[in-house]
Amino acid sequence: MRYVPIVLIGLLVAGPAQALRCGNAIVSEGDDTSKVIQRCGRPTSVERIDAPVVNQPIYNALGNRIGYQPVPAGESYEIWTYNFGPQRFVARITIKNAKIFKINEAGYGY
């Protein structure tokens, strides 16, 4: 019995994954994009964030730099925005590798 409070504290510290209610359906972090579209419809807007590119030097067999090759320095992702109107908060969903990475709420919609 004395372990119950420890388990509850652990659950509170870890916190639940963020979720978004779309009508009677819910999508959560980790769900794939097809589930989001099926349950919430098409987003109001989609913003694509391309990974920054750095120029990596290319060396020949003698160790001399002969040029540069562009290489992504991170990963690309998208931010899907759902505007549910003035009575609800706007939802901003970060999509990485075709899955929900993060769900944020912004101010009230319009």
For 47-82, what is each residue's pLDDT tens digit?
A: 999 888 899 999 999 999 999 998 888 889 999 999
Asked if residue 108 has pLDDT above 80, the reply is: yes
Does the residue 20 lie in any domain? yes
* Among 83, 84, 82, residue whose Cα is nearest residue 100: 82
Domain that holds residue 27: 14-49+76-108
* CA angle, residues 10, 15, 17, in degrees to nearest 5: 140
Does the residue 9 lie in any domain? no
Does the residue 54 lie in any domain? no
Does the residue 28 lie in any domain? yes
pLDDT (tens digit, 9 = 90+) per residue, 84-105?
A: 999 999 999 999 999 999 999 9
Check which CATH number belongs to the domain holding 37 and give it. 3.30.1450
Contact 53, 71 (CB under 8 A): yes
Number of domains in the chain: 1
* Among 17, 12, 18, residue whose Cα is nearest residue 89: 18
Contact 99, 31 (CB under 8 A): yes
